[in-house]
Structure 1
Amino acid sequence: MPEISTPIRSALRWWIFAVILVADILDLLSTTVTNIAAPSVVRDLHAPVSLTPWLGSTYALALGSILVVGGRIGDRYGYRRSFLLGIAGFGAASLLCALAWDSASIIGARLLQGAFGALLIPQGFSILLRAFPRTELGRVFGLFGPLMAVGSISGPVVAGLLIEADPLGLGWRGVFAANLLLALVVLLIAARVLPADRGRRAVAIDPLATLLLMLGVLGMLGGLIQSADGGWTPLPVFAIVAGLALLALFSRHQLRGGNPLLAPALFRNRGFVAGLLVSSLFFAAVAGLLYVTSLYLQSGLRLAPLRTSEIMLPLSVGIIIASFSARGAIVRLGRRLVTVGLALTGTGVLGYLAIVGAKAPAWLFTVPLFLCGLGMGCCFGSLFAVTLGDVDEEQTGSASGTLNAVQQIVNAVGSAVVSTLFLTVGAVHGARSGLLLTLLGVLGVIVLCGLCLPLLPRAAAADHH
């Protein structure tokens, strides 16, 4: 990545850093706020309960499916131009979310939000790499983690506060209105401070691959969610079959295409494939766990959004503590750190099961959720680094892009499938039974991840990867 030809003043560089950081926090908030806002959205729109799994999954689905091609759009047409278009579109989509009048309108707006997020997010790191001298990049990216971690804590809490305070009578719509205001501020500042670049028109873009991937995953998700709401009628069966067919076409296109989104050579690397499998299972399980916990606290125990966010807060605190504590040990411990993370997460889920089974007070959830957060914090960074452990350095960029895109997609799948299981069982046997079965399912996935650990590379990728 070439640096810009004209050096940027130090003060201006940190304004650029602030713009990129807030844009990334906006993406993080859009991923997490629906964990708290979903029950309020469903009630206010008089929507069927089947809308709940879609609220979180549609954003992550669009983001993950378009993320790789979003990066290539920046390479081709310029990072500044792509960033500005992405943040403007993200703000407009947030406004549409705030104005939603029924299920279809908010789902469409969330898809647009994710699509523009996929155009916005990849440009940030490319811009930082061009704006800062190489000697300062370690400090820049070292600051990113802590500040993003603060965002992960503040998102659900801010959502709970906005819904509870109900400014201007907006309710849950205030969450998306706040997104719009932040996006406008970022757009105005970014237009003044981001360095210009011309892009490289020789970069190839394959929209067909993105379309096949997105429609394939959407078909499978739609079929699973529809079957839980209305049974195994011809419509969900057709959607799942069509989704599988589109994913098969995507795989065939990737193998035959000259510029694939996912490099085929990576899938001949056993360590990478095993790491991708474990990462996918783990991220899907924990994404579903977070979503279902919020649904149970609000829909099952009838707690207010703010009280729900307070009970879930220790999970985010655990993630931060473990992330910082484990950061320096990833290269040294490698696969062993993933083992510790899975063990902590599994122990937390077991404790969660015991508390729900004993019908203990909701405030006791904070203890197992904190343990789950510690386990997640150990796994988040180490899983990616270990998965890249056997990848050649020249393939690291493609492998990292693949991991990030897949993570977003499995977050969508995990939230949709796990919450659908909870809602289906809960509708027949009650919310508590739905949560117990969901926790058993999550625990089973974590055990499966543990059984697959010997297939992962022993060592993590070096820091310069």
Structure 2
Amino acid sequence: MTVTAPEATGETQGYRWRWIALFVILAAEVMDLLDALVTAIAAPTIQRDLGGSDSVVQWLGAGYTLAMAVGLITGGRLGDLYGKKRMFLIGALGFTTASLLCGVAVSPEMLIASRVLQGLFGAVMLPQGLGLIKEMFPPSDMGKAFGMFGPVMTISSVGGPVLAGWLVDADFFGTGWRMIFLINLPLGLAAALAGIRFLPEHRESGATRLDLGGVGLVSLAALLLTYPLIQGRELGWPWWTFASMAASVVVFALFGRYESRRAATGRDPLVTPSLFRKRAFTGGLVAGLAFFSGVMGFGLVFSLYAQNGLGFTPLQAGLAGLPQAIGGVIGFGLAMSGLQERLGRGLLQIGAVVMGAGAAVLALTIHVAGTDVTAWQLAPGLGLAGIGMGLVMAPFFDIVLAGVEPHESGSASGTMTAVQQLGGALGTAVLGTLFFNLLAAEWGFGASMEVTVWVEVGLLALTFALSYLMPRHARPEQAGH
């Protein structure tokens, strides 16, 4: 393994370039977080401008997260093979180019294809940053470096939807919704140029070859599942949609068998098979799939309900969802105050209950207030759900990865992050399809939103039940606290 700092000729200068490099990496994280959030707010405007069916709204989010999910599993290994700095720069420039293509898209198909490209290049870019931080910073500064991610992610999650709504409403230079993608151009170019100057060279000397067969199988399985879930409703659910979903189960099983054989013959698998023999890890994967499906699916449906059902502008819709984001900040802050260490898995379970209660309050508010409901009336339920979401997410990854062996940690982390993205794609597909089905059956926006919220409550109940498969604490020494 080699790490070379750019012109780090003195202790002070070396200290300085490390922190500048960190801000380059954080800029890339901001681009990804914003692009994961903004299309939910802009989707109704995009559909009115470019045309296309309701499935276009779902593919704008699902195409990005599905490509990200598949790419993340192997994105980190590309950095080990070809150099983290090089792959970060390729990812950043590719992401910026894909954003430009999104901004100039002339059809729904071109926009969706460009979103898929964004997801793929994002999956190349993001893992490199985390790996570089581990190599750049000494143990004494590692906590401070990773601690920067919390505020940045929080500000992005709170401000992303509001920024998207403001950009769409402001219609700068007549660009309308296109500005939510074009804003990535200065960010991406600045990150790439600064990365050339300040990011260190890093490559693993013992890196193994890519598992392209595994990538192909898991990509096919994910597409066989997601495509019919989104397109089936508009096509009248022909027989092949159900055959496709059944085939996805078969291909996922083939993927598992292929990975086991690869590991048995001494080749490096895409996902370490021994992980799936750990009850805590597999339970966490399924729990994460349920939880993130509900969170991401709700975000899209709420935006459609607020704009198409209540007549909110994109900016008003972004502001209406702000209590949930602020609640998430509060919940995360409570967890970090010591609750996470003391309660462990219990904090995750409390969070699921609080979030479910907030969703129930939201559903009841929509039912009672009807079409005259205001953003202020929606705020208590959204805020409570946000607090619960923060309480769940704070300990989630730490607890799920608790029983993973050191040699499995890289594969486990990549798999968990990929499942988070896959959950987003499935949630967008399932909850979005449910919402559009109910509207087609003339349920009305309020009733359709209520049902969708109660489905999210069901997914949270499943998350709660599956949490009992996880260890009580991430580290044994916390059990006595």
Q: How does the TM-score come out when normalised to structure 1?
A: 0.95
Instruction: Determine the structure 2 residue equivalent to 1:407.
Output: 420
After superposing the two structures, state which structure 1 stretch, 410-419 or 19-28, moved more: 410-419
Instruction: Confirm or deny: 8 A CA contact 1:78 1:200 kept in the other structure.
Output: no
Mapped partners of 1:216, 1:439: distance in 2: 28
Mapped partners of 1:322, 1:128: distance in 2: 27
Q: Kindly state the Cα deviation for residue 237 of structure 1 after the two structures are TM-superposed.
A: 3.2
Of the three residues 41, 44, 47, the one matched with 1:42 is 47
Instruction: Confirm or deny: 8 A CA contact 1:331 1:463 kept in the other structure.
Output: no
Instruction: Confirm or deny: 8 A CA contact 2:294 2:427 kept in the other structure.
Output: yes
Counterpart residue type for residue 348 of structure 2: V
Counterpart residue type for residue 381 of structure 1: A
Instruction: From the superposition, tell whether residues 416 and 461 of structure 1 become closer, same or farther in structure 2 (CA, over 3 Å).
Output: farther
**Secondary structure at the residue paired with 2:402?**
coil
Q: Kindly state the Cα deviation for residue 201 of structure 1 after the two structures are TM-superposed.
A: 6.8
Q: How does 1:38-187 map to 2 (within 5 A)?
A: 38-187=43-192
Counterpart residue type for residue 367 of structure 2: G
Instruction: Determine the structure 1 residue equivalent to 2:472.
Output: 458
Instruction: From the superposition, tell whether residues 155 and 138 of structure 1 become closer, same or farther in structure 2 (CA, over 3 Å).
Output: same
Q: Kindly state the Cα deviation for residue 397 of structure 1 after the two structures are TM-superposed.
A: 3.0
Instruction: Determine the structure 2 residue equivalent to 1:221.
Output: 226
Instruction: From the superposition, tell whether residues 311 and 99 of structure 1 become closer, same or farther in structure 2 (CA, over 3 Å).
Output: same
Mapped partners of 2:344, 2:291: distance in 1: 17
Instruction: Determine the structure 2 residue equivalent to 1:29.
Output: 34
Q: Kindly state the Cα deviation for residue 99 of structure 1 after the two structures are TM-superposed.
A: 1.4
Instruction: Determine the structure 1 residue equivalent to 2:197.
Output: 192
Of the three residues 452, 461, 465, the one matched with 1:438 is 452
Instruction: Confirm or deny: 8 A CA contact 2:132 2:202 kept in the other structure.
Output: no
Q: Pairwise CA RMSD of aligned residues?
A: 1.9
1:330 equivalenced with 2:340 (yes/no): yes
Instruction: Determine the structure 2 residue equivalent to 1:355.
Output: 365
Q: Kindly state the Cα deviation for residue 129 of structure 1 after the two structures are TM-superposed.
A: 1.8
**Secondary structure at the residue paired with 1:197?**
strand
Instruction: Confirm or deny: 8 A CA contact 2:2 2:203 kept in the other structure.
Output: no
Mapped partners of 2:212, 2:477: distance in 1: 32
Of the three residues 225, 235, 244, the one matched with 1:239 is 244
**Secondary structure at the residue paired with 1:381?**
helix
Q: Kindly state the Cα deviation for residue 437 of structure 1 after the two structures are TM-superposed.
A: 1.3
Q: How does the TM-score come out when normalised to structure 2?
A: 0.92
Instruction: Confirm or deny: 8 A CA contact 1:36 1:309 kept in the other structure.
Output: yes
Of the three residues 301, 305, 321, the one matched with 1:296 is 305
Q: Kindly state the Cα deviation for residue 326 of structure 1 after the two structures are TM-superposed.
A: 0.3
Q: Kindly state the Cα deviation for residue 261 of structure 1 after the two structures are TM-superposed.
A: 1.8
Instruction: Confirm or deny: 8 A CA contact 1:389 1:458 kept in the other structure.
Output: no
**Secondary structure at the residue paired with 1:50?**
helix
Counterpart residue type for residue 165 of structure 1: A
Instruction: Confirm or deny: 8 A CA contact 2:39 2:60 kept in the other structure.
Output: yes
1:342 equivalenced with 2:352 (yes/no): yes
Mapped partners of 1:73, 1:453: distance in 2: 33
Gaps of 5+ in 1: none
Mapped partners of 1:179, 1:101: distance in 2: 19
Gaps of 5+ in 2: none
Mapped partners of 2:61, 2:365: distance in 1: 26
| Count of matched residue pairs | 464
Mapped partners of 2:188, 2:467: distance in 1: 41
Counterpart residue type for residue 293 of structure 1: F
Instruction: Determine the structure 1 residue equivalent to 2:432.
Output: 419
Mapped partners of 1:170, 1:31: distance in 2: 20
After superposing the two structures, state which structure 1 stretch, 70-79 or 378-387, moved more: 378-387
Instruction: Confirm or deny: 8 A CA contact 1:288 1:418 kept in the other structure.
Output: yes
Q: Kindly state the Cα deviation for residue 242 of structure 1 after the two structures are TM-superposed.
A: 4.0
Q: Kindly state the Cα deviation for residue 235 of structure 1 after the two structures are TM-superposed.
A: 4.2
Instruction: Confirm or deny: 8 A CA contact 2:3 2:201 kept in the other structure.
Output: no
Of the three residues 396, 414, 419, the one matched with 2:409 is 396
Mapped partners of 1:362, 1:305: distance in 2: 15
Counterpart residue type for residue 260 of structure 1: P
After superposing the two structures, state which structure 1 stretch, 111-120 or 315-324, moved more: 315-324
Deviation by residue 1:74-100 (Cα, 9 ceiling, x = unmatched): 000000000000000001110111111
**Secondary structure at the residue paired with 1:101?**
coil
